[in-house]
Amino acid sequence: MTFLIKGETETWEVVIGLEVHAQVTSEAKLFSGAPTYFGADPNSQVSFVDAGMPGMLPVINEICVEQAVRTGLGLKARINNRSVFSRKNYFYADLPQGYQISQFDLPIVGKGTIVLDMPDGVSREIGIERLHLEQDAGKSIHDLHPSKTFIDLNRSGVALMEIVSDPDMRSPEEAGAYLRKLRSILRYLGTCNGNMDEGSMRCDANVSVRPQGEEGLRTRCEIKNVNSIRFVMQAIEYEARRHVDVYESGGEISQETRQYDSNNGETRSMRSKEMAHDYRYFPDPDLLPLVFDDDYVARIKATLPELPDEKRERFISEYGLTAYDAGVLVVERETSVYFEDVAKDRDPKAAANWVISNLFGALNKMGISITDSPITADNLGKLIDLITDNTISGRIAKDVFEIMLEEGKGPDAIVEEKGLKQITDTGPIEDAIGQVMADNPGKVEEYRGGKDKLIGWFVGQVMKQTGGKANPGKLNELLQKKLAP
């Protein structure tokens, strides 16, 4: 899915690589025991190490190492048994040590792959260049005082996994699909919650353009710290068009770091882009190389859950779902679990249809996730059972579903309380048909005169007479007999 921009002289394509900073799910920071809870009071989760106090030495958090290895395995990536922490030197008020502990030329995870399933049915492989561990910086707050900047060091030292893709994406849509797929994998693994609105997952987008058919890479610009997938896609499109305008007017693109202004839908220059040598990387003298053996990796691999791609294939082969339905149901692990609970010992296609078409729509309107659904998987399954055994019709089931949403009750109780059981006895259905025919002799004559499509009108009228409770199959069978000339 290539995004092409038609200029006056050339047709241009965009080249995209993404750097995702994913906060490691852990109760303590990467090199200190300070907690990592979101929303804590400013500067309430800061150890002496995080504050850069003299003489304070970092101590590696083993859980963060395990989570990085776990993520690498989930990305089908090479795990490096030996990696090195380095100091990335730069000076800013929210970086009290004057350097960031990161990994440079020897990261913990090497090459990997993410497979994107695009809406047009085409699959795309996006390469992962590396995953490395690093500590986060603090936060500068500029809008609390007219002339002063406030510093919150709660995030200082929080463990991040920086996941760097190859420049393999060719459209904003592919970038969006990549971020959604990566977030899904991280959540399945339990290594990052992926909450971009909380800053747990942030994205830097590297964007360049080139004439269609050109193989080389041109100068790129980095759009820094975008906190929404929609904004990432918008920023990439704006930046690509900006590059084309510059080239077609005879200008050159300068390598720089830019920020995205979501209010105006544009990117703005922040600073010239630093190169690796500008940071004066060198191995951190306070941290030994990180070394582990293959048995350590194997133990972690044995605990991996079934991941989205494997689960999707199983849903297709085991349940007979379409690729689209299976793809929708595996995006979130909680959704896949909910679906399988509904589908247990039932028609899986009916279960998928109720979850995707009915439940998802209702939850979206309510603005809640499936974990907060007022309808449990058990109760949705019971609703499908009532349709299957002809206790209620599909039409009545939709009414019962709405009551379940509002009241949280089980379907059996609602059907009993409201008297919604389907009429399967032919006597009452025949009585209702007779009444409709007696009230509408003209329609009867039209039908018998060849207007076969009026059968639908008669069905609707009888359903009104029975409050929608007549069994559709029996109703159609009896109607055709009664209406026959």
On the question of pLDDT at 422 being above 70, the answer is no
Residues 318 and 189 placed together within one structural domain of the fold: no
Distance, in Å, from the CA atom of 104 to the CA atom of 287, rounded to the nearest integer, reads 14
Pair 441, 403 in one domain: no
pLDDT at site 458 = 80
Q: Are 222 and 206 in contact (CB under 8 A)?
A: yes
pLDDT of 180 above 90? yes
How many residues would you count in the chain?
485
Residues 6+ apart with CB under 8 A from 383: 354, 397, 400, 401, 404, 411
Predicted pLDDT of residue 273 = 64
What are residue 64's phi and psi, to 5 degrees? -65, -35
pLDDT at 446 over 70: yes
How far apart (Å, rounded) are the C-alpha atoms in residues 233 and 229?
A: 6
Q: What is the mean pLDDT of the chain?
A: 92
Verify that 247 and 290 share a domain, yes or no. Answer: yes
Tell me, what CATH number does 441's domain have?
1.10.10.410
More confident residue, 158 or 271: 158
Residues 296 and 414 in one domain: no
pLDDT at 457: 85
Contact 205, 232 (CB under 8 A): yes
Average confidence (pLDDT) over 144-148:
92
Q: What is the DSSP letter of 278?
A: G
Q: What is the DSSP letter of 28?
A: S
pLDDT tens by residue, 314-336: 999 999 999 999 999 999 999 99
Rounded Cα gap, residues 402 and 359, in angstroms: 10
Average pLDDT over residues 22-47: 96
Clarify whether residues 13 and 159 are in a common domain: yes
Pair 81, 45 in one domain: yes
Q: Give the per-residue pLDDT at 271.
A: 79
Cβ 125 vs Cβ 112: under 8 Å:
no
What integer pLDDT is reported at residue 275 of this predicted model? 66
Percent residues over pLDDT 90 in the chain:
76
Which of 393, 418, 443 is the C-terminal boundary of a domain?
418
Mean predicted confidence (pLDDT) in 89-97: 91
The verdict on 180 and 252 lying in the same domain is yes
Check whether 484 has a pLDDT greater than 80.
Answer: no
Instruction: Report the distance separating Cα 244 and Cα 3, nearest Å.
Output: 13
**113-144: pLDDT as tens digits:** 999 988 887 889 999 999 999 999 999 998 88
Q: What is the pLDDT of residue 424?
A: 63
- CB neighbour burial string for 229-242, b if at least 16 within 10 angstroms, e if fewer: bebbbbbbbbbbeb
Residue 68 shares a structural domain with residue 187? yes
> What is the rounded distance in angstroms from the CA atom of residue 447 to the CA atom of residue 469?
24
Contacts of 104 (CB under 8 A, 6+ apart): 84, 86, 88, 132, 276, 281
Instruction: Report how far residue 275's alpha carbon sits from residue 2's, in angstroms, rounded to the nearest whole number.
Output: 29
Q: Average pLDDT for residues 179-188, to the nearest whole number?
A: 97
pLDDT digits (tens, 9 = 90+) for 155-171: 999 999 999 999 999 99
Residue 425: per-residue pLDDT: 61
| Residue 480: predicted pLDDT | 78
Residues 129, 214 within the same domain? yes
The predicted structure's pLDDT at residue 449: 73
Domain boundary among 250, 269, 300: 300
Ramachandran angles phi, psi of 205, nearest 5°:
-105, 125
Q: Are residues 105 and 222 in the same domain?
A: yes
pLDDT above 70: residue 186: yes
Residue 406, pLDDT score: 93
Cβ atoms 143, 111 nearer than 8 A: no
pLDDT, one tens digit per residue, over 243-269 is 999 999 999 999 999 999 999 999 999
Together in a domain, 226 and 272: yes
SS3 267: strand
Q: What local confidence, expressed as pLDDT, does residue 478 receive?
A: 75
Q: Residue 355 has what DSSP assignment?
A: I
Domain of residue 397 covers 308-418
Alpha-carbon dihedral sign for residues 41, 44, 45, 48? positive
Burial class for 144, CB neighbours closer than 10 Å (0-12, 13-18, 19+): exposed
* H runs (alpha helix) in 410-450: 411-418, 426-439, 441-448
The number of angstroms, rounded, from the C-alpha of 483 to the middle of its chain's C-alpha atoms is 54
Overall average pLDDT of the 45-68 stretch: 96
Whether the per-residue pLDDT at 362 is higher than 70: the answer is: yes
- Whether residue 152 is found in the same domain as residue 56: yes
The answer to whether residue 428 scores a pLDDT higher than 80 is no
* Helix and strand numbers, DSSP H then E, in the chain: 16, 16
Over residues 225-245, the pLDDT tens digits come to 999 999 999 999 999 999 999
Q: Report pLDDT for 467.
A: 75
User: What confidence score (pLDDT) does residue 469 get?
Assistant: 72
Tens of pLDDT along 293-311? 999 999 999 999 999 999 9
- Domain count of the fold of the chain: 3
Name the CA dihedral angle for 141, 136, 160, 197, rounded to a multiple of 10 degrees: 0
**pTM for the whole structure:** 0.86
DSSP string spanning 359-419?
A: IHHHHHHHT--GGG-SS-HHHHHHHHHHHHTTSS-HHHHHHHHHHHHHH---HHHHHHHHT
- Residue 218 dihedral angles phi and psi, to the nearest 5°: -95, 180
Given 374, 400, 418, which residue is the final one in a domain? Answer: 418
Is residue 383 within 8 Å of residue 354, measured between CB atoms?
A: yes
| Neighbour count for residue 190 (Cβ, 10 Å) | 15
